[in-house]
Structure 1
């Protein structure tokens, strides 16, 4: 099987580069879906596409007989990010988006797995469900596919699910890593708007500066991470967007920021829901401004089954 995989290498690299040149964002990925369907054409698969998205689900029926068989799901995400690529590689994006998180590689890997497993289907005692998911980058594409029945695509519930994610740092190239239990954090969304009173930059005492309050809120949240949470149950708050003001000598009426908040346990998530509003409202009261807080859960943590981790490694 390893030798067969090596024979697919150049084809899959070329396929990945093709995906990379034309990335798509969100739940609707028509070009990507078309390329995946074309790559799967001719394989002994039962293929269906999403009802409300451009997802692709394919079922491979194993040909080996066994007293007990399992249904295994293999998953890859297909969408890109709305960022401009400046890598300079000869297969760089041509449309202003970018596969900056490696989903082109994920998709190519699953297409390669489909081709490889199809060659060896007579050795499989059970079925394989191939899940090509759009909308991973904040669009909840997995939930859409779950609601449309991907876990029952083979006619019975999936027994186990496997997925991989490439990393560009921390882990040496070519190394596979995993762990039992929680491996990826939950993700929460934080959007904060600070409402003050505008004025001229020469007379801040006649205004209520929302930018100063916003800056203090950001630093106060970072202090809360180190003083309100157990170091052995870590929390990360990263502010990725700050907005406010149109001129350097004008105090605006409002400002704000957006952040991603991550944690690993329900206890930390519950504490975040209490700590974040308290910290932000406390700063707002001290600075004489108002604050509007939108904090909600996006995705739960990824928790690996211990037996499956042991089996895969």
Structure 2
């Protein structure tokens, strides 16, 4: 069970609930940034605000020189109206439905612990609060803006954490290799020719081939997915027309494609586009592609994955850790930090009895924030041990 109180972290559960009540979406999160700055006032740290986005970089200098380790929490919420029933629920049309409020509170707690342990730190800890994880390119923006050079010493490892409402509360999970999948989201537009519903022979109705494309996408995935090499395709939106007596010019399918490698996902995407073009062409119509950024898989270095297991079991006990059996197919832009520095990404269960089966990204998702102090302790200990290990060449 997660600890209920940890004097070293402060009241991070209360902070999580205050953050939960002020959700903001995207890259501009001024209220969230201000609240985090207030929480860090008085600590022996240096704080740098982002340029053009509401990020924070917090530098904790150790008592002795050495390399840098990066800790990251994402900040942004989702455009959902909350229906969780929590007393501290957000009002309005945005919600922390993915647990980023817990991540921020856990990192604040880790910073406090690290400030109290500066004599144990052989180097520098760079703690970053990143906006725009939910599809807004926040990690890429921060890396392009030079966050990895903030301390003058590029991080030797990066660590991030993610809560899940559908995992047992207080259990931490990690694995070497792929922890989360790669994804690309794109829109396929079937372009026809509009007309009157009473005279379909004079028009080209794009809804008909678009419906066949939906079936073809699912068939392709079924025929090509295995347990060793999973493939997921979701048609998240189908937009076409506004009136039953009007044949529309265009039908647009929103597709989310997920796999475990960039090569795999690009090959399947190309296959899907060719199939869509073939179907549309048989109806004398065409297809256009509007593609979003491709997010690479989130991959934990084997050394750092073992370090996660050692830290969790030492700090919280052996029952607090469980190996992640297979990658979670949700994507995460922390993958970009891991590509640059190595490190590890770990999960922690925050399932609550009240949440039932409501997953992350649900308007009814409920998280057990009793896990936050333990997440703080794990993040802080990871940084201290990784820096100590770096002196000895790992």
CA distance in 1, matches of 2:131, 2:114: 23
Which residue of structure 2 lines up, in the alignment, with residue 151 of structure 1? 148
Match of 1:209 among 186, 205, 209: 205
Which residue of structure 2 lines up, in the alignment, with residue 11 of structure 1? 11
Q: Does 1:234 align with 2:209?
A: no
Alpha-carbon displacement from aligned partner over 1:172-220 (angstroms, at most 9, x marks no partner): 1211111101111112121111111233445444432211221111121
Q: Does the 8 Å contact 1:233/1:268 carry over to 2?
A: no
Q: Does the 8 Å contact 1:23/1:95 carry over to 2?
A: no
SS in 1 for 2:163: coil
Distance 1:139 1:107, change over 3 A: same
Which residue of structure 2 lines up, in the alignment, with residue 176 of structure 1? 172
| TM alignment of 1:40-59, pairs within 5 A | 40-59=40-59
CA distance in 1, matches of 2:225, 2:274: 14
Which residue of structure 2 lines up, in the alignment, with residue 291 of structure 1? 287
Distance 1:229 1:282, change over 3 A: farther
Match of 2:102 among 78, 100, 105: 105
Q: Does the 8 Å contact 1:182/1:304 carry over to 2?
A: yes
| TM alignment of 1:11-50, pairs within 5 A | 11-50=11-50
Distance 1:88 1:231, change over 3 A: closer
CA distance in 2, matches of 1:230, 1:281: 26
Give the root-mean-square deviation of aligned CA atoms.
2.1
Match of 2:86 among 89, 105, 108: 89
Which residue of structure 2 lines up, in the alignment, with residue 257 of structure 1? 253
Q: Does 1:123 align with 2:120?
A: yes
Alpha-carbon displacement from aligned partner over 1:84-105 (angstroms, at most 9, x marks no partner): 1122211111231111111111
Alpha-carbon displacement from aligned partner over 1:248-299 (angstroms, at most 9, x marks no partner): 3332221112122122113303312420211110110122322111235432
Q: Does 1:302 align with 2:282?
A: no
- Give the TM-score taking structure 2 as reference length: 0.74
CA distance in 2, matches of 1:296, 1:27: 17
**Structure 1: which 5+ runs fail to align?**
none
**Structure 2: which 5+ runs fail to align?**
310-394
Distance 1:250 1:3, change over 3 A: closer
Which residue of structure 2 lines up, in the alignment, with residue 160 of structure 1? 157
